Amino acid sequence: MKTVLEKILGFGLEATDNPAFGDYSANIALQHGSPKKIAEEIAEKLKVNKDLTNLVDRIEVAGPGFINFWLKKEALLDNLSQIEERKEKYGTSDAGKGKTVIIDYSSPNIAKPFGIGHLRSTIIGAALYNLYGALGYTVVGDNHLGDWGTQFGKLLYMIKLKNVADFDIAKLEDLYVEFHKLAETDSSLEESAREWFKKLEEGDSEAKDIWQKCVDASMEEFDRIYKLLGVKIDFAFGESYYESEMKQMMQDPGFKKHLVKGEDGALIIDLAKEGIGTPLMFLKSDGATTYATRDLATIKFRERKWDPDTIIYEVGAEQSLHFKQLFAAARLLGLVKERVKLIHTAHGLYLAPDGKKFSTRKGKTIKLEEVLDEAVKRAKKLGNSQENVAKEVGIGAIKYFDLMHSVASNVIFEWDKIMNMEGNSGPYLQYTVARTNSVLAKAKPESKKKEGSLNAEEASVLRSLVRYPEAIESAALLYSPNLLCNFLHDLAQKYNSF
């Protein structure tokens, strides 16, 4: 509706929060730099515009230069008929037709447990995936698994040292910790680990076999979690995939000229001219590639494979410097077309209820699987005795809680808020849906309202429904699923008072 009105008007509108200011409002003072009188003149002219008066039955000037618009009852009821017609498709559009968005999300690290630290990326990334899909974009989801890097040298060394044949993630995590303990007193260990990683990079078959086992053991756990969360990601190329891409990239003379020797023999890309003081580390002094090298190669590959318009990295704010460097280097090297938007969402952290960093007593990360199990248990306590219902409520609660916070803000993990049946929560929305469905089941076709007036509660639900497509669009374009959550919570409240 907003865009339809804007087209007729030729200027921008804002949805209002307060019904006293109509459904939509234009700030003429802002748009024309001139106040009330002009607003009045415009409003007078608009009152005879037929296209507009078909949709709007009240236009008023308020304050220093606002024009407020109230939608007609007929427009609200028309919209309701559209909802009935389009059903689940209501709110979708083809606004993004012909455009491709790549979303890099979840991206946990092999050989480490899936911690709560990767929850936001998984949930927000999946939400953005759905939002862009609803707007008709071609969406590519890629799980950029952390399955490569010098840490694998350490693991390989330990696995060989201890002759471990069978392992799960917990075992791998222990071996990693043990390596660092041993390395404190024996400095030759780091060197041995480097040699093992070198073997891996050179394709040594023993190193590759053990590495593959690490990947398989980890994926088993990750897949269990994705299943619980109901998240499916199109691709999981992972960092290891870019071995050959990196080698190719290094041969390219246009690329080589940007590599300079750092002090200790490392190869770096100087970004000072790009306004970034810290150079990007391309090759370490021992010749090993880095996280950043692989990310550069990934951009090159994605550009070639999907020709994207936007690449969204759904990754935490703690990696802000990395993405600044990466984007600047990608532009400098011309790895993407100019029109390609490179976005780092930079989400906030989960914090413990005391506002401190969230970790176990021993300082380890909190395992996501344990959190999800607890959520299901708590959902059962709320009276959802059936296993599948408890799962939908418990896990839905966790997902909604994550999404309702603005992406940038830190999130204090509080069970009472997550499971709160009265407030802004997943269970509250689900309860509202259940109520809606039972009303629908009882409603008779002849109770459809075409004549007469709408009471205040009816009108407020209908006014809210009009804004659903707008909520989807802004949530997608601003990379902010919380805007859709705000909308849904507001709608649920209005529906419940109706």
315 lines the binding site for ligand ARG (CB under 6 A): yes
From the CA atom positions of the chain, what is the Rg in Å? Answer: 27
295 lines the binding site for ligand ARG (CB under 6 A): yes
Residue range at the interface with ligand ARG (CB under 6 A); choices 70-78, 103-111, 180-188, 344-352: 103-111
- Tell the smallest beta-carbon distance from residue 109 to ligand ARG (Å): 5
325 lines the binding site for ligand ARG (CB under 6 A): no
344 lines the binding site for ligand ARG (CB under 6 A): no
Degrees to nearest 5, angle at CA 360 with 358 and 361: 120
Q: How far apart are CA 313 and CA 368, in angstroms?
A: 21
Judged by CB under 6 A, how many residues of this single chain contact ligand ARG?
A: 8
Degrees to nearest 5, angle at CA 122 with 118 and 126: 170
- Tell the smallest beta-carbon distance from residue 112 to ligand ARG (Å): 8
313 lines the binding site for ligand ARG (CB under 6 A): yes
237 or 498: whose CB is closer to ligand ARG? 237
Please pick, from the candidates 146, 238, 279, 396, the single residue that binds ligand ARG as defined by CB under 6 A.
146
384-415: b or e for each residue (b if 16 or more CB lie within 10 Å)?
beeeeebbbbbbbbbbbbbbbbbbeeebbbee
- Tell the smallest beta-carbon distance from residue 236 to ligand ARG (Å): 12
- Tell the smallest beta-carbon distance from residue 150 to ligand ARG (Å): 14
125 lines the binding site for ligand ARG (CB under 6 A): no
Q: How far apart are CA 427 and CA 430, in angstroms?
A: 5
2 or 112: whose CB is closer to ligand ARG? 112
- Tell the smallest beta-carbon distance from residue 295 to ligand ARG (Å): 5
105 or 401: whose CB is closer to ligand ARG? 105
Please pick, from the candidates 61, 111, 132, 144, the single residue that binds ligand ARG as defined by CB under 6 A.
144
Residue range at the interface with ligand ARG (CB under 6 A); choices 104-112, 171-179, 223-231, 266-274: 104-112
Contacting residues toward ligand ARG, per CB under 6 A: 104, 107, 109, 144, 146, 295, 313, 315
